[in-house]
Chain A
Amino acid sequence: MQIFHNLNIDFIGKQKIFFAVSFVLLAVGVSSWVAKGGLKYGIDFTGGVNVNVKFTSAPPVDKIRAAISARIPGEISVQEVSGENEVIIGTGLRGEAELNAARGIMAETLSETFGADKSKLDLNNASAQALADRLRDPLQRAAAGLNDDQIKQLAEAILGFKNSPPRSGVLTSLDQLKGVEGVTPKVLDVVKQECGLGQFSIRSAEVIGPKIGAELRNKAILATLYALGGMLVYLAFRFEFSYGLAAVVAVFHDVIITLGLFSLFDKEISLNVVAALLTLVGYSMNDTIVVFDRIRETLSVSRKDAFVKVVNDSINQTMSRTVLTSGLTFISALSLLIFGGQVLNGFAFALVVGILVGTYSSIFVASPILIWYRQWRESGQKRAAKAA
């Protein structure tokens, strides 16, 4: 089986078309970027609070927003996680102390608005220690015959059950606990009498002060530039400067287009996304290296062919493998995007988009740049020779 048989397309001759495609992609991304007043950064880079809350049923978004807005000044975002009864409550851009206070107020407000009966312990938001402390005396009174260690184990078993899928943090009824190890009818009665169930559970909370945010932002930009620089040096060392330059320009092109698409799809740039972008810088380079490797090899064998022809043949010869390798990595990334869950969504999106753009640029962008640069340098040499 073979994807392409004896492919012979004049890629370099059609470079104007690819140039136009790249230009459109860049223009669309960058104009969306400009129109929206810059990229949408996550709290990793701006500073802010994100609290991920799971509800027992469809979350009452407006009620949540109203309750929290009443107690925290500034904008509160309540974003639904599709397919789950989950929301991400966020606020941003304030001082460290205010952000920490806001995080506390969010938790408090949620438990006042959606929590269990005040006199009872909210099992959906209790720690194992708190649950054990709460149950200790009543269990002794009920003569359940459990010592301290057993009570601790019981509390851990109950919360372990609550936290494992498909409950994933929230119980809808205390009767669900029936199957849990150590929960006898007597114990269940005590649990019911001491504990209630709030309608929500806080699954994660993140507070990032503006100081750390600014620090990470600087590091993100520097890391990307250093990575590109490192690659330029390595390729210049292994090939020639012109190859390194062409590859780096192509990769830079990929990063800008990927960022543009992030802006177009209104996705946030988080630290994970930057990690994905840096991986792309390396990965997108791979396909380019495969083509360049072939160009170098062919050049060393047949010196008489014109450089443009060698490049064109090399692209054609490596086409099958470029499409196949990218396709396989693309499948992995796509599976991560579809099944990998909410936390890795941005990361997987960057990879999926980036692999597509990166493959395109390895085939259609890097090589024309290599040719242009060489022609420009040669004409420069000729001019210099004439002048001399």
Chain B
Amino acid sequence: MQKNLKWKATVILLTTLVCLYGIVGLPKSVDELQANWKKNIRLGLDLRGGSLLILQVKLQDAFKAEAALQIERLKEQLAAQSIAYAAIDSTEPASLAEADKIEIHVKGVPVDKTQAFRALVTEQLPSWVLTPVNSTDYRLTIKPSEAQALKKDTVERSMHTIENRINGLGLAEASVQQRGGADTEAEILVSMPGLDDPARVKSILQTAALLELYEVKEGPFAKREDALAKFGGVLPLGTKLLPSMSRTAEQGEGWFVVSRTPVITGRDLRDARPAQDEFGKWETSFVLSQDAKGRFGAFTEKNIGNRLAIALDGQIRTAPTIQSRIDDSGRITGASSQDDAKDLALLLKSGSLPAGIEYLQEQTVGPSLGADSIRQGLIAGLVGLVLVIAIMFIYYAASGLNATVALILNAVILIGALAYLQAVLTLPGIAGIILLIGMAVDSNVLIFERIREELRAGKATLAAIDTGFNKAWWTIVDTHVATIVSCAFLFMFGTPAVRGFAVTLTIGLVANVFTSVFVSRTLFQFEMSRQASAPRLSIGI
């Protein structure tokens, strides 16, 4: 008995020490203790403040772009092989679900060219399936495997770009994850602890940031119609119309006719940074990659005196006149502030998004609300704890101490486990701990009531304790399993706050089996072993 007790006490003591070490480490001062606590107990966004965003990649954009690219290629090849056609266009999928149902329609291919047309499509567009609609018209659909690959690639590239942008903002603890199971799922979860300016981040993440430098053919025009009128309603081959951003509208510039293909795109950039011009105005300067240098140099040399349009996401930011040959750098003027110039530099460096994104959810908690929540949780917890302990002492007399020790050890193990598992403590998690205070002593009550019953039935104290624990054991297991089963289903929601609650409650209940049965029983045994003969138990009867 005595030896047995030593062994049990060692287990309990070791568990306690290991948990305490996990929570506060080996502090040498009060400051260090606080610092270790802060380091080991990871607070969720709802307690420390920060932003959580769920965004959806508009995969349909990527499919539209892919179809447009294939149509260009097809037109080129058809022209090269002199196969005539009446029209080629594609459907415009409006939603994510319809994205991979995109179709390219080819109309009016002469019957005698059928063979040649089929051969060309098979060779040039291997990822598309050709279906004849009638003798001259055809429908092209994307192969399922290719659609899958395109989705995956688009999501991956979007995540990569978003990650780059977030890192560029200096949000060290931010994380970017895919939401949902399949790797083609188009939802991305971005969590940014400590962020206090979500509006700016949202706009940065959402910008497609497609930089293109075009040769200006004609312009500016005040209105779109003016530009078209100049060319008799039809734009010359190889050109397109682009609007300029409202910011430059004060300069009286509206629409430009530019070359269809850009000279330089965002991919050709090596670096971009905010800078100030000679008047102290903010702008963003960029440096081109080795590969783009030669192309840009040759182009600018040829076009001295002409204008160059610098467009971001299809809108012209500036259209400066080329003064001399430029090899490797340029600047985008018109930033409204240093932040603005900085953000643009970041966007250019992090690359463009392959498809548009849409925000499905934003959850932002300011640091003041988090601090209040912690304080309120602490008060609620302490009040609950004191009341519960008081009732246990009143009802079970000295055995209330047994329950109190078990309860406090339960909390220590729970917090220690959270620290070791690096689980995140959320506000519902704190609620879980407070609820657990009430539920943890339930097990003690079950056992103590049993012991009392046995004592009343006239059993000796030692036997009553043993029977009490043995009989209550399966009841405790059943009740705990029932609650843990419910908690398990909370995981289905996947939201961090609710998961935090489920994890906290589950760990707490598992720890409770240990403290209310093993620890509590050991404490009773210890008490009994101190009384020489016919030991008595103070349990309120």
**Could you tell me the dominant secondary structure of chain A's interface residues?**
helix
Given the known interface contacts A104-B199, A203-B369, A341-B376, the answer about A275 and B428 at a Cβ–Cβ threshold of 8 Å is: yes
Which residues from A are CB-within-8-Å of B369?
A: 52, 168-169, 203-204, 343
Q: Which residues in A have their C-beta under 8 angstroms from that of B145?
A: none
Chain B residues contacting A332 (CB-CB under 8 Å) are 384, 388, 434-439
Establish whether residues A1 and B395, one from each chain, have CB atoms under 8 Å apart when the complex forms: yes
Flag if B482 contacts A335 (CB, 8 Å).
no
Identify the closest chain B residue to A86 (Cβ).
B369
In the complex, how many angstroms separate the beta carbon of A79 from the nearest chain B beta carbon? 16
Q: What does the 1/0 interface line of A324-336 toward B look like (CB < 8 Å)?
A: 1101111111011
Counting contact residues on chain B (CB < 8 A from A), the size range is 35 or more
Q: Is B414 an interface residue (CB 8 A)?
A: no
- From 292 to 349 in chain B, residues with beta carbon under 8 angstroms from any chain A beta carbon are 338-339
Contact A133 to B338, CB < 8 A, known contacts A328-B388, A329-B435, A339-B376:
yes
Contacts of B427 in A (CB 8 A): 343-344
B364 engages A206 (CB within 8 Å): yes
Q: 0/1 per residue, B444-463, Cβ < 8 Å to A?
A: 01100100110000000000
- Is A219 an interface position by the 8 A CB rule? yes
* CA–CA, A52 and B372, complex, Å: 13
Number of interface residues, chain A, beta carbon within 8 A: 86
Binds B, one of A141-149, A158-166, A190-198, A260-268: A158-166
Contact A328 to B442, CB < 8 A, known contacts A201-B368, A234-B481: yes
Q: Which of A202, A230, A339 contacts B366 (CB 8 A)?
A: A202
A203 to B364, CA, bound (A): 8
In the complex, whether A178 has a CB less than 8 A from a CB of chain B is no
Instruction: Tell whether A204 pairs with B449 under 8 Å between CB atoms, given A1-B395, A332-B437, A347-B428.
Output: no
Cα distance, A320 to B453, chains bound together (Å): 11
- B363, B376, B391: the one contacting A328 at CB < 8 Å is B391
| Contact of A351 (CB < 8 Å), options: B46, B202, B339, B435 | B435
User: How distant is the Cα of A222 from the Cα of B495 in the complex, in angstroms?
Assistant: 15
The one of A167, A207, A347 in contact with B368, judged by C-beta atoms closer than 8 angstroms, is A167
Listed by A's residue number, 13 A-B pairs whose Cβ atoms lie within 8 Å are A107-B199, A133-B339, A203-B369, A204-B363, A234-B478, A279-B435, A279-B487, A286-B439, A324-B449, A327-B391, A336-B384, A338-B380, A340-B431
Q: Apart from A209-B361, A335-B384, A340-B380, what are 18 other A-B pairs with CB-CB below 8 Å?
A: A1-B540, A96-B56, A164-B371, A165-B371, A208-B360, A271-B495, A278-B489, A281-B486, A289-B475, A289-B479, A290-B475, A317-B453, A325-B445, A330-B438, A332-B388, A333-B434, A335-B381, A340-B431
The 3 closest A-B pairs by CB, nearest first: A329-B438, A169-B368, A332-B438
A interface residue numbers (CB < 8 A to B)? 1-2, 52, 54, 96-97, 100, 103-104, 107, 127-130, 133, 159-160, 162-165, 167-169, 201-209, 211-212, 216, 219-220, 222-224, 226-227, 230-231, 234-235, 238, 271-272, 274-275, 278-279, 281-283, 285-286, 289-290, 293, 297, 317, 320-321, 324-325, 327-333, 335-336, 338-341, 343-344, 347-348, 351
